[in-house]
Structure 1
């Protein structure tokens, strides 16, 4: 068995460190971040409790013209349809104006949900460890510190079974258009690689958001799937519009991960708004 990369991403006490910061934003993306900060205030005003960056931009690994801008907004109340419309308008305007990014998206949640007991080891962990404060009071001050243990693994990615039926519907909707399939390959590749990495995270005792490194970590514990995960990591960065890739995800890798994840860590606690489990 190949040795996994040396564990990292933890502090001296073994807690997952916050991975991004405004200081790491590459110079080319700083005007985009500044514009996003101003426009979030215009779009949500007093309804907004706080706002965050996440993804490659605050990690300092964004690629000009290839990376998107990822935002999360914590609202004082649960988001409304008007809030979602405002987020879509904001994202479209930023994407059109700034060539540095290839898309912009904003996740919206109520502050109460982000700090709820049910979300402590999912959305709470996401905010505390993977999000970089941009505006307002940092919710991480109200959240625990996190270790790379089985509880965190289960509550972050132990719900893959719920996604597979929805992915089938999205693939069917894309038809035979290669351009329509490419973003699906990118999204699904990233989701599966991250799920595979959190499957082995408690054994590795480290954290990373780099897809290629995630695949290497996983492959050290499941060598029979290593090549498959390495390919998925590459498609996460450089997607193709190949229908065979999507079929392999839905008919092989995805179902295998569902079964192995449930065997090792169990199934994520149900959420009130989660989709019903379906077959096929």
Structure 2
């Protein structure tokens, strides 16, 4: 049987590790560790890497750096301002990364029952420890079931109105490319988790995710393959974004709701896509 990202018991294996970080990104990771410690001090509980860098698949100049910071308390304005300065500084100082994204949460939120199958799963299965004690030790093991599908990506219908607003407000090629990467990633992740319980496994590879999806929805396979390609090399084409919010996105939201239901409402937040 294929491995499909699961252990012998059918539970998710944690993806990524510091040992898999490509050499080209070693400098930015080491610097991020030091700057996080300096910026947050005793306020920081732990820090994590996520995305292609700890998975070892990042391409210099084409991939962003993802960081998740867990604080001892819920983030305040001071903490959010520090994250903005940290992200901007790393992006400016290291051309190897194309953008830096920092997720900032209190540890109680990350361990809460409400986030058990969204942020909790994200931390335990898709994040690599960088600093501090690993919160994953307090979280359960996870399986690729319909509950996980619902609680991770069962909110696309709620996301689409915000996407339409962002699209209307965009006007420059850089803004269109940024939205193309954001929308494309989210759609491919959502398409994959739609079929994840039937496929019985996990992958973070966007190209593979689109292929797995296409095996169950051949009539939408070409669209999802194109979205995966655009997620890796975003384009500054408003027509692509319109197709996402007017066609693929609404269809995917309806199909997702029909198969898995809708995500339990949260006051705010959720895992990245």
| Fold-level similarity (TM above 0.5) | yes
What 5-or-longer segments of structure 1 have no aligned partner? 276-280
Give the 5 Å matches for 1:107-146.
107-146=103-142
Partner of 2:4: 8
Alpha-carbon distance, 1:189 to partner: 0.4
Partner of 2:266: 271
1:243 is the counterpart of 2:238? yes
Give the 5 Å matches for 1:44-83.
44-83=40-79
Assess if the C-alpha contact under 8 Å between 1:174 and 1:180 holds in 2: yes
Partner of 1:224: 219
TM-score by length of 2: 0.96
Alpha-carbon distance, 1:274 to partner: 6.5
Q: What CA distance in whole angstroms lies between the structure 2 residues aligned with 1:203 and 1:235?
A: 26
Q: What CA distance in whole angstroms lies between the structure 2 residues aligned with 1:180 and 1:143?
A: 37
Give the 5 Å matches for 1:22-61.
22-61=18-57
> Post-superposition, which runs of at least 4 consecutive aligned residues in structure 1 deviate over 6 A?
none
Taking a change above 3 Å as real, the CA distance of residues 59 and 165 of structure 1, as seen in their structure-2 partners, is: same
Alpha-carbon distance, 1:99 to partner: 1.6
Partner of 2:17: 21
Assess if the C-alpha contact under 8 Å between 1:158 and 1:268 holds in 2: yes
Q: SS of the counterpart of 1:103? A: strand
Per-residue CA distance 1:71-95 (angstroms, 9 max, x = gap) = 0000001001110110010111111
**Residue 163 of structure 1, aligned match among 159, 162, 171:** 159
- RMSD value, Cα: 1.4
Taking a change above 3 Å as real, the CA distance of residues 217 and 51 of structure 1, as seen in their structure-2 partners, is: same
What 5-or-longer segments of structure 2 have no aligned partner? none
Q: What CA distance in whole angstroms lies between the structure 2 residues aligned with 1:213 and 1:243?
A: 26
Q: SS of the counterpart of 2:66? A: strand
Assess if the C-alpha contact under 8 Å between 1:158 and 1:265 holds in 2: yes
Taking a change above 3 Å as real, the CA distance of residues 224 and 6 of structure 1, as seen in their structure-2 partners, is: farther
Q: What CA distance in whole angstroms lies between the structure 2 residues aligned with 1:179 and 1:27?
A: 28
Q: Number of residues paired by the alignment?
A: 270
TM-score by length of 1: 0.94
Per-residue CA distance 1:100-148 (angstroms, 9 max, x = gap) = 1111121000000000000000000000000000011101100000000
Taking a change above 3 Å as real, the CA distance of residues 195 and 99 of structure 1, as seen in their structure-2 partners, is: same
Alpha-carbon distance, 1:170 to partner: 0.6
